């Protein structure tokens, strides 16, 4: 059986990671038919949009996509392609596991956390108004002087239905993967209606899973807890913005974003991608760590129920990292270590380890 998968190389270091990662996935013996679709900053120049309709059509048709990182301009330019994909395809659950691997330079060991992030609403819904716009002025006028008259405005929607499905996803994941605890994270002491609603729904869902321990943390306290006592936590479920921040913090516990895979999952389709960005300054240098992309491929294999192949790849990745010989510069004890290998060479070592 051949799996037809939408393949989005992305830009910056994306195409190099995709080339390396696809070779590793193909070496498992699982048959893939790649439906290659270009998106991102470079396509914006030629097609007038960073996310052509053909890309969305391809994912809807194939149901599964594997994607390299795509650049998002800061402050100006087009909106995030990543956010647009999640909204257009209703990929409501962002799954980001953070796991320690022997041989990685880190102050922490034996980390095994899973961040479940709501993907479609909160401040990332993109409902915002420029300073001095009619919409912003109307909201400011109704605030009774609580908002500065020159403020730009962002709206933070949190709904019962979307909160319920993401919390339920976190509990279902915990049950399916032998996890024991789910922690909901928000800031309900300040945002009593939005984050308060998220906690209220989470408590209701938790009652349906008596076999799973449930607790709550405020987002600021959660950051401190993860630095001091990460072993006390298991599955974390959060609204969109907090989930984005916490997933980077958890990646820092295990050695950095180069080791952080991710998945965006909906009822109809799923998209797998590394958590890190496109790092355009490293484009074409064969220098970027391919681990996060390859582990995203491992998550895809498990989604496709190719469990044996997924385990083979992850064990090979772990072996190569533990040996410390054929790894990229960021995985060396000294970043200027002249024995560091390139992106493609690390992929070659992982393929060899699989054999």
b/e code 322-336 from CB counts within 10 Å (16+ = b) = eebebbbbbbbeeee
SS3 34: strand
User: Tokens 């510069």 label which residue?
Assistant: 329
CB 262 within 8 A of CB 274: yes
Q: Residues near 258 by Cβ (< 8 Å), separated by ≥ 6?
A: 276, 288, 289, 291, 292, 328, 330, 331
CB 199 within 8 A of CB 164: no
- Return the active site residues: 124, 187, 220, 244
User: Tokens 């499905």 label which residue?
Assistant: 165
d(C-alpha 259, C-alpha 97), whole Å: 10
């Amino acid at each position: 059986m051949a799996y037809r998968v939408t393949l989005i190389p992305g830009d910056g270091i994306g195409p190099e990671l995709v080339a390396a990662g696809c070779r590793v996935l193909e070496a498992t013996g699982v048959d893939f038919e790649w439906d290659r679709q270009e998106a991102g900053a470079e396509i914006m120049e030629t097609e007038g949009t960073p996310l052509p309709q053909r890309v969305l059509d391809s994912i809807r048709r194939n149901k599964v996509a594997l994607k390299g990182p795509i650049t998002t301009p800061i402050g100006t330019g087009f909106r995030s392609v990543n956010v647009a994909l999640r909204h257009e395809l209703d990929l409501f659950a962002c799954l980001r596991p953070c796991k320690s691997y022997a041989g990685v330079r880190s102050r922490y060991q034996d980390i095994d956390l899973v961040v479940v992030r709501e993907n479609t609403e909160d401040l990332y819904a993109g409902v915002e108004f420029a300073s001095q716009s009619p919409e912003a002025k109307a909201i400011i006028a109704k605030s009774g002087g609580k908002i500065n008259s020159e403020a730009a405005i962002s709206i933070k929607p949190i709904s019962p239905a979307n909160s319920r499905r993401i919390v339920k996803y976190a509990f279902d994941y915990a049950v399916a993967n032998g996890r024991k605890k789910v922690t909901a994270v928000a800031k309900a002491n300040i945002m009593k209606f939005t984050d308060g609603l998220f906690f209220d729904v989470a408590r209701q869902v938790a009652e349906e899973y008596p076999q799973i321990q449930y607790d709550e943390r405020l987002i600021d306290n959660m950051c401190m807890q993860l630095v001091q006592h990460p072993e006390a936590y298991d599955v974390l479920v959060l609204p969109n913005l907090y989930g984005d921040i916490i997933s980077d913090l958890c990646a820092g516990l295990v050695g950095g974003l180069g080791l952080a895979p991710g998945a965006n999952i909906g009822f109809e389709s799923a998209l797998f991608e590394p958590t890190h960005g496109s790092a355009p300054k490293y484009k074409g240098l064969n220098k970027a760590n391919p681990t996060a992309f390859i582990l995203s491929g491992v998550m895809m294999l498990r989604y496709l129920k190719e469990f044996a192949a997924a385990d083979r790849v992850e064990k090979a990745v772990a072996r190569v990292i533990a040996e410390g010989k054929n790894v990229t510069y960021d995985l060396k004890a000294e970043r200027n270590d002249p024995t560091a290998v390139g992106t493609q060479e690390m992929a070659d070592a992982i393929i060899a380890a699989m054999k």
